[in-house]
A and B are shown apart, each in its own frame.
Chain A
Amino acid sequence: MASSLERTDMPDAAATLTEDRQTVELTALSAPAVAFTVGMIAFPVVYTIWLSFQSFSSTGQQSFVGLGNYAKLVSDNEFWHGLWVTVALYVLSLVLQLFFGVWLALVLFRAKRLPGIVRSLLISPFMMPPVVAGMMWLVILDPSLGAANYILTSLHLPPSDWLASPTWVIPTVALIDTWQWTPYVALIVLGGLQSLPPSVYEAAQIDGASSFKTFQRITLPLLLPTVVTATILRSVDLLRFFDIIYITTQGGPGNASNTLNIYGFRVGFEFFNIGYASALMLTLTAIVLGVVLAFNRLRGAVAW
């Protein structure tokens, strides 16, 4: 898609004037968002960076330790384990959510005559507040009291410890998150599907292509920018996984579900180790930034 913004019917000087005017306008269009964001996050970020260079004693006395907290971070087993938990949970959840999200979006897209309220209900799981979702799954997945094991044993299948199993806690959390956020991905992809020109489909049908081939050759590539957007938006939340784990396992059993965000939170708010917690939080932020930049590159490649 070529971007022909140049005006070929005007003399050069006038063309430059238009471009300059456009540049001013473009700056003005994005300025409020940029200024607002900078205004809100500048102080917190700078303050946290400063805090990460301090060490706090139990009596609240602080001393400058430079990169001491970061050195501690590198040699902290809990940090590396937390990183592993975070990445494992992230990859598993993301793959599941993208796959089922696109699938659900297509199903919804084809069910054109579905009443609005039904469609809304189907996407409602992600509208549930995290504390409620956590408490609800805590009961449903309780090995002794929950409906999940009740159904399994009724079907003569072996019950599971679900969230209490060091091996299965991460997949279980990933499943809970997938249940909740697949509709979110589906909604974003659905919005993308709706904005695709219908002529695209008409052309494919005239050629007699089967639905699956249409999907593969035409729809999917056109959907890719939307899918990458959904990936970026989900990545930002998944890498900072906190709510469900905090309500159900608090990082346990042992530290099997101790994501970096949970670890950083406890270090700061429960152990009062504010300097180290700041270093942890900033490191996590840097990791998320790296992932976003990588996917953004991809997005630029497929969209532009």
Chain B
Amino acid sequence: MRGKALAAQLMLSVIVAGTAGSARAADFNWKKFQGKTVTFLANNNPISAALLTHKADFEKLTGITLKVDGYQEQQMRQRLVTVMNAHSDEVDVFMTLPSREGAQFAAAGWYADLTPLTRNEVAPDYDYAGLSQALLKAATYDGKLTSMPMNIEGPVLYYRTDIFKKCGVDAPKTIADVEAAAKKIKACDSSITPFVSRGLKPALPYTFSNFLHNMGGNYMVNGKSALCSPKDKAALETYSGLLRDYGPPGVVNYSFPQISALYRAGRAAMDFEASNELRTVMEGGDRLKDTALIPLPAGDAGQVPTAIGWGIAVSANSKQPDAAWYFVQWATSPAVQKLLAVEGIAPPRSSVASDPAYRKWIEEQPVRKQWQAALDVLAAKGSSEVGYPIVANPESREFIGQAVQALILKQKSVDQACADADKQLDALIAKK
């Protein structure tokens, strides 16, 4: 059902983009907003860092001056929330994570609608249709396209081939295999942490969601929270069980900094963390030769990997959305995403993924090949659902996190944990 709707949408957007593109291609002028200044509130992650190294190219191409304000993710969100709550026009363009705040920001009316812009004011080589349709859909609320995708990422399973070999474990093909591998490794070498993933309350929904979807669970069924359904309970038990029994001590505080550090230091056999932690994990070179990378192995429902992407959006309060849009489309154009790709930013465009320069970069290391293969799976089958598909998504993550942590800390039984969570989540869903 989902596949058909997606295909239909894909066809429709190709037609629209095709016709619109050919009609306007001749009119497009990069220098249309020459002399203007666009302010970009950036999140200081590798994506924007890589993007901004080419800032001068953009300014030369368009004659627009780009003012950049970069902050760490949580700081940037604080600043953005303050600026937007004050209805200020100070920020024209900002980075956003639709899977987390998309519904929230869209409901608050903070995004400018990009749909008309993608049709009318687009460079001929922009190739709107080449962008990941799943990510575009995830950024569309009430028919309005709120941001353009900059990358694709998701949690992947890094694991130590040498430890697996030493303990006589095969590469896991199912989640049950992962559990069995953890058990075997624990018995084989007690100094190694068999499995590490996120246990920090607000961070764990990112990795937990993948387990949930692979095992056929759903956060919401018929408008009500479904954490106590059999498949959801199984997912809760599996994820928390892996961390509780085979995870490192203190895993309830663990997010990407500690997880990557632990794996990189050689202290963990399996590491389920974000794909864009690759560079951090490979730093120093110790793990370059003994790491394999796969999407989370299949559960009862096969592989439904979590695939999200950072987006770049135009503020609804911006006084010059059209000039701002020029930056957005430049940043997400095939040419620029090609440049970003060879710096390790997985592109949300299949055309870029098959670009020769990028492929050469991939071929340099076997682990990069596996990384790209995993991302291909994410691009093909991915779901952006991290937490509840409601406006109050961030708050829903809090209750999911509480449930899983209670299980890791053995504070509640599964039935108790899921019941408590369902109660609070139903109240949250009902709140308008």
Contacts and interface: CB of A to CB of B under 8 A. Distances in A.
Interface of A: 57-60, 138-139, 142-145, 159, 161-166, 248-255, 266, 269-272, 274
A58 B432 contact: yes
A212 to B, nearest CB: 43
B258 interface: yes
A159 B395 contact: no
B133 interface: no
B402 A144 contact: no
Contact of A163 (B108, B253, B261): B253
B81 interface: yes
B66 interface: no
B258 A145 contact: yes
B108 A272 contact: yes
Given A58-B391, A254-B201, A144 B405 contact: no
Nearest to A265: B78
A93 B75 CA distance: 27
Interface stretch (B243-251, B287-295, B331-339, B346-354): B243-251
A271 B394 contact: yes
Interface string B224-252: 00000000000000000000000011111
A251 B401 CA distance: 12
Nearest to B108: A60
6 contacts: A59-B108, A144-B248, A144-B267, A161-B250, A253-B409, A254-B406
Contacts of B109: 59-60
Contacts of B411: 166, 254
Contacts of A162: 250
Contacts of A166: 409, 411
Interface in B90-137: 104, 107-109
B77 interface: yes
A252 B405 contact: yes
Given A164-B249, A270-B394, A60 B107 contact: yes
Across the A-B interface, the 7 shortest Cβ-Cβ residue pairs: A164-B250, A143-B250, A143-B249, A253-B252, A58-B391, A271-B395, A164-B253
B251 A269 contact: no
B265 interface: yes
Interface in B184-234: 193, 200-202
A161 B408 CA distance: 14
Contacts of A274: 85
Nearest to A142: B258
Contacts of B249: 143-144, 159, 161, 164
Interface string B398-414: 10001001100101000
Contact of A251 (B78, B201, B267, B391): B201
B409 A254 contact: yes
Contacts of A159: 249
A25 B160 CA distance: 76
B143 to A, nearest CB: 16
B257 interface: yes
B392 interface: yes
Contacts of A266: 398
B406 A144 contact: no
Residue from the set A59, A138, A144, A269 with the largest chain B CB neighbour count within 10 Å: A144
A252 B201 contact: yes
B406 to A, nearest CB: 7
B14 interface: no
A59 B384 CA distance: 22
A253 B248 contact: no
Given A250-B200, A252-B201, A269-B81, 4 more contacts: A58-B108, A58-B391, A252-B252, A266-B398
B262 A249 contact: no
A252 B200 contact: yes
Highest count of chain A CB atoms <10 Å: which of B193, B252, B257, B402: B252
* Most chain B CB inside 10 Å of its own CB: which residue of A57, A163, A249, A250: A250
A165 B258 CA distance: 16
A249 B200 CA distance: 7
A164 B107 contact: no
Contact of A252 (B104, B253, B267, B431): B253
A161 B265 CA distance: 19
Given A142-B258, A254-B406, A248 B395 contact: no
Contacts of A161: 249-250
Nearest to A268: B81
Interface string B261-297: 1100101000000000000000000000000000000
Contacts of B253: 163-164, 248-249, 252-253
A263 to B, nearest CB: 11
Given A161-B249, A163-B253, A164-B250, A254 B391 contact: no
Nearest to A271: B395
A144 B250 contact: yes
A142 B258 CA distance: 8
Contacts of A255: 402
Contacts of B78: 269
Contacts of B402: 254-255
